[in-house]
Structure 1
Amino acid sequence: MNDMKKLASILLSRIVIFGGLILLQLSAFVVLVWKFSTYSIYFMFINMLVGFLVILWIINNRQNPVYKLAWIIPILLFPIFGISFYLLFGMQKVNKRVTKRMEEIQIKTNSILNQDLKVMENLKNRDIRIANQAKYIYNASHYPVYQNTEVEYFSSGELKFERLKEELNKAEHYIFLEYFIIEEGIMWNSILDILIQKAKKGVDVRVLYDDLGCLQKLPYKYNEVLEGHGIKCTVFNPFVPVLSIKMNNRDHRKIVVIDGHTAFNGGINLADEYINARPKFGHWKDSAVMIKGNAVLNFTVMFLTVWDYYNKIYEDYRDFLPRNKNHTKFESDGFVSPYGDSPLDDETVGEMTYLNIINQAKEYVYITTPYLILDNETVTALCLAAKKGVDVRIITPHIPDKKYVHMVTRGYYPVLMENGVKIYEYTPGFMHGKNFVADDEVSIVGTINLDYRSLYLHFECATWMYGSKAVLSVKEDFLETLEQCYRMDLAYFKNMKWYVKLMYAILRVFSPLM
C-alpha cells in the first residue's frame, strides 16, 4: 500500500506532470517540423536559406565562440531541427519588456551604489593592478569596493549553518534570503523556526527562491505556506510547462542580508546535503563567507532589485541603508566588493573577474569548482599562467552529482595538464565550493561555477576580497583540502580507448548546451 502511495506521489508530482507536458510539446514540434520537411522541395530550399541566414546571425552576434560552434554544427547536420531548436532555446537575450523593467530599477540602484573615491584611491595606492580589478567590477556591474568591512570564511556548510543561526537570532529590523535551492529538512526547518519567530516580532522577513531549483525540493505553492507564517515570499521565474528560453535563466544566487550590516554569500544552499546531514555524493565540500560592514549594501541592493521587479513595486532603498538600522562600527579588513552578474546584458562579469585574477597572478592561482566546462578564453588564460611559471591548481569533485557533466569536466583535463596546470579530484565526495585565491592577496568566494550556465545564463553573485584575513583562510582551506585529493595523471587520458576519447571530444563540442 505504501509503495502504491509512493508511486502515485511520484506520478502526480509537478516535475513529472510538467515534464510530460513539455515532452508532448517537444514531440508535437518534432513531428510538425518533420512533416513540413517532407512536404516539398521548395520547403527544403527555404529551410536552407533560413539556415544560412541563422548561421550568419550566430557568427556575427556577440555570443561566445564556443556557444556559436555548439549550435552551428547541428544546424549544418540537421538544418530543419537545428534551426528550430536554436530559435526556441539558443537565443540568450530575455525579452525587451523584462530588460526595460530591470533597467528602470537599475537606474534607481545606481543612485545608491556610488563608489567612494577615497576608498578607490586607498586601493590604488596599495596596488594599481588590484585597483583596476575593482574598477572593472564597478564599471561593468556598478557594485563599488568598500573598506570598513570584516570578512569571515567558512570552509564547510556545517560552520556556515551554525553562524547563520546565530546571526539570524540577532535580527531586529529585516532578514532577506535569496537561494537557488531550499529543501525541507534539518537545515531549512531550523532556519524557518527562527524566521517564523522573527516575523511574529515584526521583523520584515523575505524569502526569494528559484522555482526550478526547488522543483523537487519544496511542495507546490510553498510560498503560500511561508506567507501563512507572516513571511513574505517570492518565487523566481516560476516553472511552467511551456517550451521557452525563459526557463534557461535561473536565480543561482545564495544571499542572506540581516539588518543591512551582515550578509552571507557562497556556494551553500539551504538543504541537508550541504551540511552533510544527508549524504548524497559522499562528503559534500563547500564554502561561504560572512561579511559585516559597509560592503553589505551591495547585497542589500542586489536582493531588492530582483524582489522589486517580481513584486512590481518601487521601494526607497534608502530605508534599508545600514546606517539607518545599525550604528556598530566595523573594523576595516582589507577591501571588499560583493558583486552580481546577470544574463540581461552582454557583460560576463563573473568570467571577466575570474580572468582578471588568472591573468594578473604572479605566484599562484588556486581554484575549486564543481564543474570545469571552459571557453577558449579561460583555457588560454589558465595555460598561459602555468607556462609563465604561475602555480595553477584546480580541485574538482571525484564523486559527481551529474555523471555526464563530470565527463565533460574531465574532457578539459588533458589540454590543461599538457600546459602545466595541476588538476586534483576531491576523493571523499563532491566539491561544490566556487573559490579563487591568488598570491596571498586576492580571493573570490561565491556562487559562480566555471561552466557556461553560470557564466552566461544565470543570475549569480560573489564576494571579491583583497588584503582581507579571509584571503589567507581560503588558501589554507585549499591546501588542507588538497591532502584529501588525488592528482590526475595525464597518462590516464593518453591510454584511453579511442572511442572514449571520441566521446569526450563530442561532449566538449556540445558542452555549452548542457
Structure 2
Amino acid sequence: MTKILKFLFSRMVIVGLLILIQLGILIFTIWKLSESFVYLYGLFIAISIFATIYIVSTKDNPSYKLAWIIPVLLVPVFGGLFYLIFGSRRTTKKFRRRMINIHNETAKHLKQDNDVFREIEEDDKSVANQVKYLNNYAASPIYKNTTTRYLSPGEEFFEELKKELKKAKKYIFMEYFIIHEGVMWDSILEILEEKVQEGVDVRLIYDDMGCLQTLPYKYYEKLRQKGIKCVVFNPFVPFLSVVMNNRDHRKITIVDGHTAFTGGINLADEYINKIVRFGHWKDAAIILKGEAVWNFTMMFLQVWKFNCGEKEEYDKYRPDVNYLKPFESDGYVQPYGDSPLDDETVGEYVYLNIINKARDYIYINTPYLIVDNELVTALTLAAKSGVEVIIVTPHIEDKWYVHLVTRAYYAQLIEAGVKIYEYTPGFIHSKTFVSDDKIGVVGTINMDYRSLYLHFENGVLLYKTKSVMEIKEDFLETLNICQEITIEDCHKIKWLNRFITAILRVFAPLL
C-alpha cells in the first residue's frame, strides 16, 4: 500500500496528470468551439489542410511526415492544431539561439591537426571523408596520441570509473541522462564528496526527464550542499511544449581533461546488475586517455554554459595541462556530439557511412531497432551486396510497445539477408558498431527516432584502435548466448500482434 501511495503522489504521476488535464481542456475547447461556431469548424479544417501541405513540403524524414499526416487527415478538426503545437521538431528560437551561439563560440577551440588528417587520407580516403564530415558539421576533430579500452558489461565500467575518479586532482565533469540512488550512485557520490573535500572542482549535469522517476524533486540542492556543482538540463515542467522533447541523453565522465568515459551506461543499479529488471543487463562503454578527451571536455562545457551562462577559460581544461607525460598513441579517435538544434542528423549519418562503406561485415548492438527508410535501405543493400550484417537486439524488453516495433522490422531485414539475433539472457543496452576490423563506434545513440532526431547524444568513432577488435571479440562472444531469429519465427506471430505492430510502426517516429 505504501508503494502504491508513493507512486500515486510521485512527481512523474503528478506531472503526467497535469499534462493530461491540459490536453483534455485543449481537446474539449476545440470540440465545443467547432460545434458551436460553424465558421470555426471551417477554420480548423483549413488549418489541417495547410498543415498537411506544410508537412509534405518540409525537409523532415518521410516516416515522420507520414506519422503526422495520417492523424491530421483522420481527425481534421484537431489534427492541424495538434501538429502546430506538438509536430514541429524545432524548439523555441531562444532555446536554439543560445545553444547555437555557444557552439559557434567554442568551435574555434576545436581545430583539426592537418597532419593527422593527411595520414588518414593517405591510408583510406573513405574513412577520411567520414572524418571530414564530423569535423566540418559537428566541430569534432580526430586525434592520435590517445589510447582507448572497450568496457563491457557495466560492472567492468563501474570498477574502472571508480578507479579513475579516485585519481582526480583538478576536476571531474559528469553528464548523465539517468541517475538513480542505489549501490552504483551512492558509491560514486561518496568518491565525489571526498574529492570536493580535497579541493577538486566537481560538476554534474543530469537530465530532468531522465531522472523524473529516479531522483527526488530538487535533488540538485542536496548535491550543492555537499559542494558538488550541479545543474539540471531542460527542467521538465507540466506544460505542453515541444522543448520537452529535447533531452540530454549523453553519458560522459571527464577526469582532469586527460581521461574520459562514454557509452550506454547510466548511473543506476540495473546497469551493473545489482538489481534485475529485464533479465541480465548487457551494456558497453569505452575509456579514452589522451588528446581526444578534449572533444568531450568541450561538449560538457558547452552544455554547462547553456545551463549556467558562466564564462570559462577553456584552455585551462586541455588534456596536457594536468598530464605532463607524452600521451601514448593507439590508432585514431574522434569523439563527436549530436544536437537536435541543427539540421544535421550526425548520429544517423555516421551509421549510414559505416554501413555504406563496409566491405566484409558490420556488427551492430542496439536496444531499439526503429529505423527510417534510409537505414533500412542501407542495411538491406549491404546484405544483398554480400556484406555480413548482424544485429543484436534484446530478448527481454524494457518497453513492450517499443519492442513490438523493433520486431516489426525483422522480416524485411531478414529477407534481404540481414541476420538478427536476440540477447536471450535479458536486455542488451549497448550501442556499438564495428566493421571490417578497422572502424567502430561506441556511444549513446540508439537506432530509434528519439536518439537520431530529438536528443542530445554523443559517440566515439574509432579507426584502427585496439578497442575496435575488442568490440568485435565481445560481439562474437555475445552471439554464443543469443538466439537467431528466422523468417519462420517472424511468420509465427499472431495476426493481432501483426496488426498492432503495423499501427505502431506507422507512428514509431512519434513514440
Q: Same fold, TM exceeding 0.5?
A: yes
Asked if 1:162 corresponds to 2:153, the answer is no
Q: Find the counterpart in structure 2 of residue 117 from structure 1.
A: 114
Q: Find the counterpart in structure 2 of residue 382 from structure 1.
A: 379
Task: Report deviation, 1:321.
Answer: 1.1
Matched letter for residue 151 of structure 2 = F
- Quote the Cα distance in structure 2 between the aligned partners of 1:268 and 1:497: 35
Task: Report deviation, 1:327.
Answer: 1.3
Q: Find the counterpart in structure 1 of residue 357 from structure 2.
A: 360
Structure 2 portions without partners, runs of 5+: none
Task: Report deviation, 1:98.
Answer: 1.7
Q: In structure 2, the residue corresponding to 1:443 is in which secondary structure? A: strand
Q: Find the counterpart in structure 2 of residue 199 from structure 1.
A: 196
Equivalent of 1:429, from 417, 426, 429?
Answer: 426
- Quote the Cα distance in structure 1 between the aligned partners of 2:492 and 2:275: 37
Task: Report deviation, 1:103.
Answer: 2.2
Equivalent of 1:327, from 304, 324, 329?
Answer: 324
Of 443-452 and 76-85, more deviation after overlay is shown by: 76-85
The two structures, once aligned, show a CA RMSD in angstroms of 1.0
Contact 2:367–2:446 under 8 Å retained in 1? yes
- Quote the Cα distance in structure 2 between the aligned partners of 1:463 and 1:381: 21
Q: In structure 1, the residue corresponding to 2:367 is in which secondary structure? A: coil
Matched letter for residue 479 of structure 2 = L
Equivalent of 1:262, from 251, 259, 262?
Answer: 259
Q: Find the counterpart in structure 1 of residue 341 from structure 2.
A: 344
Contact 1:424–1:486 under 8 Å retained in 2? yes
- Runs of 4 or more off by more than 4 Å in structure 1? none
Of 317-326 and 22-31, more deviation after overlay is shown by: 317-326
Matched letter for residue 292 of structure 1 = K
- Quote the Cα distance in structure 1 between the aligned partners of 2:154 and 2:223: 24
Contact 1:445–1:464 under 8 Å retained in 2? yes
Equivalent of 2:250, from 253, 256, 259?
Answer: 253
Of 322-331 and 73-82, more deviation after overlay is shown by: 322-331
Q: Find the counterpart in structure 2 of residue 413 from structure 1.
A: 410
**What does the per-residue CA deviation read over 1:165-192, in whole Å, with 9 as the maximum and x for residues that have no partner?**
0000000000000000001111111111
Structure 1 portions without partners, runs of 5+: none
Q: In structure 1, the residue corresponding to 2:442 is in which secondary structure? A: strand
- Quote the Cα distance in structure 1 between the aligned partners of 2:324 and 2:160: 21
After superposition, residues 294-309 of structure 1 pair within 5 angstroms as 294-309=291-306
Q: In structure 2, the residue corresponding to 1:487 is in which secondary structure? A: strand
Contact 1:177–1:255 under 8 Å retained in 2? yes
**What does the per-residue CA deviation read over 1:432-475, in whole Å, with 9 as the maximum and x for residues that have no partner?**
00000000010000000000000000000001100000000000
Matched letter for residue 274 of structure 1 = Y
Matched letter for residue 172 of structure 1 = K
After superposition, residues 493-512 of structure 1 pair within 5 angstroms as 493-512=490-509
Contact 2:44–2:81 under 8 Å retained in 1? no
Task: Report deviation, 1:499.
Answer: 3.3
Q: Find the counterpart in structure 1 of residue 447 from structure 2.
A: 450
Q: In structure 2, the residue corresponding to 1:190 is in which secondary structure? A: helix
- Quote the Cα distance in structure 1 between the aligned partners of 2:36 and 2:388: 60
Cα gap change, 1:282 to 1:496, in 2 (>3 Å): closer
Q: Find the counterpart in structure 2 of residue 469 from structure 1.
A: 466
Asked if 1:400 corresponds to 2:397, the answer is yes
Task: Report deviation, 1:107.
Answer: 2.0
Matched letter for residue 431 of structure 2 = K
Task: Report deviation, 1:493.
Answer: 2.1
Q: In structure 1, the residue corresponding to 2:26 is in which secondary structure? A: helix
| Percent of residue pairs identical | 56
Matched letter for residue 182 of structure 2 = G
Q: Find the counterpart in structure 2 of residue 143 from structure 1.
A: 140
Contact 1:176–1:257 under 8 Å retained in 2? yes
Instruction: State TM-score, norm by structure 1.
Output: 0.98
Instruction: State TM-score, norm by structure 2.
Output: 0.99
Q: In structure 2, the residue corresponding to 1:112 is in which secondary structure? A: coil
Contact 1:62–1:346 under 8 Å retained in 2? no
Contact 2:47–2:81 under 8 Å retained in 1? no
Q: Find the counterpart in structure 2 of residue 276 from structure 1.
A: 273
Asked if 1:91 corresponds to 2:88, the answer is yes
Cα gap change, 1:368 to 1:504, in 2 (>3 Å): same
After superposition, residues 218-229 of structure 1 pair within 5 angstroms as 218-229=215-226
Task: Report deviation, 1:81.
Answer: 2.0
Q: Find the counterpart in structure 2 of residue 70 from structure 1.
A: 67
Contact 1:211–1:236 under 8 Å retained in 2? yes
